[in-house]
A and B are shown apart, each in its own frame.
Chain A
Amino acid sequence: MILRKDLTVEVRSLEIAYTTLFFAVSCVLFFAFALVKEGKAPEDGAAGILWIAIAFSGTLALGRTFERERQSETLRALLMAPAARPAIYVGKLLSIIALLVAAEVVLVPLVAFLFQVPLLAHPFWLAAVLVTGTIGFAAVGTLFSAMLVRARSRDVLLPVLLYPITVPVIIAGVRATAELLEPDVELALVRFWVALLVALDVVFVTLALWTFEPLMTD
Chain B
Amino acid sequence: MPKWFMPLAAINALMFAASPFLIANADYEATMGLVQKIFYYHLPSAWIFLISAIVCGIASARYLFRGSPRHDRLAYAAAELTVLFGAIVLVTGPLWARKAWGVWWQWDVRLTASLMGWMVAWAYLLVRRYGGPGSDKLAAGLALFGMANVPFVYVSVNYWRTIHPPTTVVPTLPVDMGAALWFAVACFLLLFFLLLRLRVHLEEQRARLDSLYLSLDE
> CB-CB < 8 A to A160: which residues of B?
123, 126-127
> CB-CB < 8 A to A148: which residues of B?
138
How many angstroms between the C-alpha atoms of A168 and B126 in the bound complex? Answer: 21
How many angstroms between the C-alpha atoms of A151 and B127 in the bound complex? Answer: 9
Q: A147 and B137: CB pair below 8 A?
A: yes
Q: A147 and B141: CB pair below 8 A?
A: yes
Is there a chain A Cβ closer than 8 Å to B64's Cβ? yes
How many angstroms between the C-alpha atoms of A171 and B160 in the bound complex? Answer: 15
With A214-B65, A214-B137 known as contacts, the answer to whether A168 contacts B113 (CB < 8 A) is: yes
Is there a chain A Cβ closer than 8 Å to B145's Cβ? yes
How many angstroms between the C-alpha atoms of A115 and B199 in the bound complex? Answer: 52
Chain B 113-153 near chain A by CB (<8 Å), digits 1 or 0: 10010011011001100111111011011101100100010
> CB-CB < 8 A to B135: which residues of A?
151
B110 vs chain A, min Cβ distance (A): 12
Is there a chain B Cβ closer than 8 Å to A144's Cβ? yes
Q: A152 and B132: CB pair below 8 A?
A: yes
Give the interface residue-count category, chain A.
20 to 34
Chain B 41-65 near chain A by CB (<8 Å), digits 1 or 0: 0000000000000000000000011
> CB-CB < 8 A to A143: which residues of B?
141
Q: B126 and A165: CB pair below 8 A?
A: no
How many angstroms between the C-alpha atoms of A24 and B127 in the bound complex? Answer: 27
> CB-CB < 8 A to A214: which residues of B?
64-65, 137
A171 vs chain B, min Cβ distance (A): 7
With A143-B141, A160-B123, A167-B112 known as contacts, the answer to whether A150 contacts B148 (CB < 8 A) is: no
Question: Which residues 29-79 of A have a CB within 8 angstroms of B?
Answer: none
A87 vs chain B, min Cβ distance (A): 19
Q: A151 and B132: CB pair below 8 A?
A: yes
> CB-CB < 8 A to B133: which residues of A?
150-152
CB within 8 A of B130: which of A150, A152, A168, A215? A152
> CB-CB < 8 A to A13: which residues of B?
none
Is there a chain B Cβ closer than 8 Å to A161's Cβ? yes
Chain A 127-161 near chain B by CB (<8 Å), digits 1 or 0: 00000000000001001100110111100110011
How many angstroms between the C-alpha atoms of A171 and B131 in the bound complex? Answer: 28
> CB-CB < 8 A to B131: which residues of A?
151-153, 157
> CB-CB < 8 A to B65: which residues of A?
214
CB within 8 A of A171: which of B112, B141, B145? B112
Is there a chain B Cβ closer than 8 Å to A123's Cβ? no
Is there a chain B Cβ closer than 8 Å to A211's Cβ? yes
Chain B 89-131 near chain A by CB (<8 Å), digits 1 or 0: 0000000000000000000000011001001101100110011
> CB-CB < 8 A to A171: which residues of B?
112
Q: A164 and B144: CB pair below 8 A?
A: no
How many angstroms between the C-alpha atoms of A153 and B126 in the bound complex? Answer: 11
> CB-CB < 8 A to A203: which residues of B?
148
B72 vs chain A, min Cβ distance (A): 13
Chain B 2-26 near chain A by CB (<8 Å), digits 1 or 0: 0000000000000000000000000
Q: Which residue numbers of A lie inside 8 Å of B, CB to CB? A: 140, 143-144, 147-148, 150-153, 156-157, 160-161, 163-165, 167-168, 171, 203-204, 207, 211, 214-215, 218
List 5 additional A-B contacts (Cβ < 8 Å) besides A151-B133, A161-B127: A143-B141, A144-B142, A151-B127, A168-B152, A214-B65
The 10 residue pairs across chains A and B that have the minimum distance between CB atoms: A152-B132, A164-B119, A214-B64, A211-B141, A147-B138, A167-B116, A164-B120, A151-B131, A165-B145, A160-B123
Q: Which residue numbers of B lie inside 8 Å of A, CB to CB? A: 64-65, 112-113, 116, 119-120, 122-123, 126-127, 130-135, 137-138, 140-142, 144-145, 148, 152
Q: What are 10 A-B pairs with beta-carbon distances under 8 A? A: A144-B141, A151-B132, A153-B130, A156-B130, A157-B127, A160-B127, A161-B142, A165-B120, A207-B148, A215-B138
